[in-house]
Amino acid sequence: TRSRSPTGPSVDNRSVALNSFWEIDLWGRLRGALESSAANAQASAADLAAARLSAQAELASSYFQLRVLDAQKQLLGDTVTAFDKSLELTRNRYAAGVAAKVDVVQAETQLKSTLAQAIDTGVQRAQLEHAIAILIGKPPSEFAIAPVPLAVTMPRVPLGLPSELLERRPDVAAAERRAAAANAQIGVAKAAYFPSLTLSASGGFRSANAADLFTAPSRFWSIGPALAQSIFDAGLRRAQTEQAIAAYDATVAQYRQAVLAGFQEVEDNLAALRILEEEAKVQDEAVRAARESVVLTTNQYKAGTVSYINVVTVQTTQLNNERAAVGILGRRLVAAATLVKALGGGWDAAALPQK
């Protein structure tokens, strides 16, 4: 710096200084702020885990639905083959004069209708295939899943699931961490009522001559405490404390709601798995009965005791029941995948951290 006296020439002053401050955390304000920030960071990490788990569950559900469509198309394809043979039989009987023209028309209608259904499954399958491509980060135009038979075994869910499994749900963990962060903010707000104590230190070199700047006589230093306290803030600190308490109450309510929603999701899917298992058993019996009915009615038609409309009716019933059985299996698989998501990744209690 340069200074000029009223009666003398200007003088150059050179200085190098270093200042430092340290606030003593007497009332826990800094500790509370650190705890709040750490809890918020953990909540953000849990949000990421929740998004990842949700994407994985959606991927599993989409894959199971795609395989169900493959099974539906295979079933329809086999049925088309059977209906084609029935049409050939009906034409031969018509040519021999033992069947009416209407029987041939009904057989053709049945065949073409079933073939159209088989083709239509390709639309939804393509959409599911594209959705899977997006979930795994690939362009839909460059991704394909080859059709394969649906050969899966339903996982066995234990009869009793410990409630501690919900603790590893990422959304529940995120809600708990946000409640912890809000609780720490209450301490920060209350600490604002008390004065802050700061230790400051400064030192350096000052000289009018650059050559003497870093010599011992040019050194200067100071150290001392500073106590700061707001005397009047128009109710700001009280309002901030009340706001922190209200925010904490809100996060606790959100945490409780997340836990209750988790219990509901688990119970919904457990009920779905239990009911669908019973439905699958009954549906399998319906399929067996429908197949037997087709055999009996076809033999009666060949014997000339019933018309072809009876054959069409029982064959359609068989197809509908077999498609329903495949659909139930798909719903059970999706419910199992959703239950895994509801439990935060599975129902293996051994994977829980030991307390």
The pLDDT score that the predictor gives to residue 167 is 73
The pLDDT value recorded for residue 212 is 46
- Please give the biggest Cα pair distance in the chain: 139
Distance CA 355, CA 346 (A): 19
Distance CA 8, CA 55 (A): 79
Per-residue confidence (pLDDT) for residue 240, from 0 to 100: 73
Residue 343 is predicted with a pLDDT of 84
According to the model, what pLDDT value does residue 38 have?
87
Residues of the chain with pLDDT under 70: 1-30, 158-165, 188, 190-235, 346-355
Structure tokens at 341: 């998501």
**Which of 3.40.50.720, 1.20.120.450, 1.20.1600.10, 3.50.50.60 is the CATH number of 29-193+236-351?**
1.20.1600.10
Q: Where are the extended beta strands (E) located within the chain?
A: 2-4, 10-12, 14-24, 196-207, 219-228
Of all helices (H) and strands (E), which one includes residue 107?
Answer: helix 101-135
CA gap 297, 292 in Å, rounded: 9
User: Residues near 263 by Cβ (< 8 Å), separated by ≥ 6?
Assistant: 163, 166
Which pLDDT score, from 0 to 100, does residue 250 have? 87
- DSSP 8-state assignment for residue 344: T
Q: What is the model's pLDDT at position 195?
A: 56
Taking alpha carbons only, the member of 287, 339, 336 closest to residue 314 is: 287
What are the boundaries of each domain within the chain? 29-193+236-351
Q: What is the DSSP letter of 149?
A: -
Interval 253-267: pLDDT, tens: 988 988 888 888 888
